[in-house]
Amino acid sequence: MQTTKKDIQLAIRPDVGGEFFQWFNFRLSGQIGEQYVLNILNAGEASYLEGWENYQAVASYDRQHWFRLPTSYKDGKLTIVAELECETIQIAYFAPYSYERHQDLLAAVQVHPLVTLEHLGETLDKRDLTLVKIGDGAAHKRNIWITARQHPGETMAEWLIEGLLYSLLDSDNATGKQLLDKANFYIVPNMNPDGSVRGHLRTNAAGTNLNREWQSPSLDKSLKYFM
């Protein structure tokens, strides 16, 4: 829904199930040099209102380099101001980490001799859930498990995993080498690829918050099947 460029009215779409929402990622097209004011009207009903305090939306013209936009929250409305330097701008809650980049990451690290990819299972939307194993498997070493993006809207978690993987596998990184001398790593870069692709904040394709599934997981709510 839209009125004028000084009052573009938007609403965030809830996750499946309707319980959670906060994540957004959209494209705005307009005239170079013009200022556009975007008002997200249902921000006051979002899942984590404290998240709007001192919050600044991110934006990009090339979808590679991200910067902050002037953003304010008042009376349940989130207002984002964008003055266009190009005709099209991408605006998001956090810098997105796409499913395509996720697949590129897995493909890039698998060629390293210390890396093995293991297929853990298939998600409800029939996407692979992949484990990255790094190390020689020596029994005397510690085993370190790291998982990311049970909440798919927390995209910074997979950015961290990307940096961690490349640091561990960089032969010139002294810290990475020391860690691999002492430990084997078992890393799941994205625990919730379905929610990531669907643009969810916290849930998967079934509307399940996977962070609450550890006690009593199920094939119907968590994975289509598990290896």
Angstrom distances, CA of residue 67 to CA of 60, 74, 124, 190:
6, 22, 34, 24
Specify the amino acid at residue 79: T
**pLDDT over 80 (residue 126):** yes
- The residue ranking higher by pLDDT, 121 or 117, is 117
**pLDDT over 80 (residue 3):** no
Reported pTM: 0.91
Domains of the chain, residue spans? 8-92, 99-226
Tokens of 100: 């395509």
CA separation for the pair 201, 105 (Å, rounded): 22
Helix (H) or strand (E) holding 165: helix 156-168
**pLDDT over 60 (residue 1):** no
| Residue position matching structure tokens 């959670």 | 20
Per-residue pLDDT of 74-117, as tens digits, reads 999 999 999 999 999 999 999 999 999 999 999 999 999 999 99
Segment 158-176 shows an average pLDDT of 97
- Is CATH 2.60.40.3120 correct for 8-92? yes
Per-residue pLDDT of 190-226, as tens digits, reads 999 999 999 999 999 999 999 888 888 888 887 765 5
Fold of 99-226: Aminopeptidase (3.40.630)
- 80 backbone dihedrals φ, ψ, rounded to 5°: -120, 130
